[in-house]
């Protein structure tokens, strides 16, 4: 599936928690890349700062700028979240603000590299946590390269209203760079407005909905034992199927002869 990007709107945190929940429940091999320009949180939060020595996208950026070592250094910068299987891997985000300046000029380089991981042996999907776009130097090249961009937002009116500027900014950028308009999907979290109401109000389809599960969210944010039978984890595990179905339909449309109509079932 190549790259799946997650973003959140102003006032609607949750992209990192959602990305980690998906990573821990994904069926295919997956790399979770923390590409939030404001910094990564999983090392200090979920992993409790247990790793010794610096590791992550900041180190990769420094090495790439110094001697072009991204391909050779990439796998050594990952953290195996389900060791030793190498099936759920984390590329930690920047933790030192000084590294942010090294990463920013390389967003396109990382996008191109991530896009090739699904063709590797073995292949990996890449889940990219882009954080909030209302920051300096957001990772636009990663969003443009993504097969699907999921905007995570709570389903309440204040957060939905705050999502509108983010949606319009993404739509403008995608139109300017000829990105398929059906790349963007909503992923509402918790109680509030109905799914159909949200899609109609924001004029973006809803791909799925995640439940409010504060206990699991706290574990994913602060560390502890993740239980697969919890509501959030079950919903995150179910998210892979609609994403794959969306991409299968898109690929079928692209492969269908131009002079024939695509069957309704597709």
End-to-end CA distance of the chain: give it in Å, rounded. 18
Chosen CATH of 3-238 out of 3.30.390.50, 3.60.20.10, 3.40.50.10800, 3.40.50.300: 3.40.50.300
**pLDDT (tens digit, 0 to 9) for every residue of the chain, 266 residues total?**
689 999 998 766 689 999 999 999 999 999 999 999 888 999 999 998 877 668 899 999 999 999 999 999 999 999 999 999 999 999 999 987 777 888 999 999 999 999 999 999 999 999 999 998 877 789 999 999 999 999 999 999 999 999 999 999 999 999 999 999 899 999 999 999 999 999 999 999 999 999 999 999 999 999 999 999 999 999 999 999 999 999 888 878 777 555 555 454 43
Residue 265 in tokens: 């079932």
Decide if 38 contacts 184 (C-beta within 8 A).
Answer: no
Residue spans of alpha helices (H) in 177-263: 195-202, 214-222, 231-255
Q: Is 210 helix (H, G, I), strand (E, B) or coil?
A: strand
Q: Kindly report the pTM of this predicted structure.
A: 0.92
List C-alpha distances in Å: 237 to 9, 133, 188: 23, 26, 16
**C-alpha span between 126 and 131 (Å, rounded):** 15
Domain ranges of the chain: 3-238
Residue 158 in tokens: 């204040």
Which uninterrupted H or E stretch holds 49? none
| 206 upstream amide cis, omega within 30 of 0 | no
The values of phi and psi at residue 11, to 5°, are 85, 0
**C-alpha span between 58 and 204 (Å, rounded):** 33
**C-alpha span between 44 and 131 (Å, rounded):** 16
């Amino acid at each position: 599936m190549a790259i799946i990007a997650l973003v959140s709107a102003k006032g609607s945190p949750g992209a990192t928690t959602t990305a980690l929940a998906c990573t821990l429940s994904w069926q295919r091999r997956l790399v979770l890349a923390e590409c939030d320009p404001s910094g990564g949180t999983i090392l200090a939060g979920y992993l409790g700062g247990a790793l010794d020595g610096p590791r992550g996208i900041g180190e990769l950026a420094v090495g790439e700028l110094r001697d072009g070592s991204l391909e050779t250094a990439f796998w050594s910068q990952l953290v195996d979240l389900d060791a030793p299987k190498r099936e759920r891997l984390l590329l930690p985000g920047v933790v030192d603000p000084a590294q942010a300046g090294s990463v920013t000029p390389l967003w396109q380089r990382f996008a191109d590299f991530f896009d090739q991981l699904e063709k590797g042996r073995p292949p990996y999907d890449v889940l990219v946590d882009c954080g909030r776009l209302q920051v300096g130097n957001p990772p636009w090249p990663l969003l443009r390269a993504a097969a699907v961009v999921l905007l995570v937002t709570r389903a309440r009116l204040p957060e939905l209203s705050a999502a509108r500027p983010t949606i319009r900014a993404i739509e403008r950028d995608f139109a300017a760079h000829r990105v398929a308009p059906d790349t963007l999907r909503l992923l509402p979290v918790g109680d509030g407005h109905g799914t159909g109401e949200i899609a109609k109000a924001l004029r973006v389809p809803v791909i799925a909905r995640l439940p409010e599960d504060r206990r699991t969210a706290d574990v994913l944010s602060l560390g502890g034992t993740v239980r697969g039978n919890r509501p959030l984890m079950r919903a995150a595990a179910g998210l892979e199927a609609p994403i794959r179905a969306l991409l299968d339909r898109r690929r079928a449309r692209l492969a269908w002869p131009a002079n024939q109509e695509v069957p309704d079932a597709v």
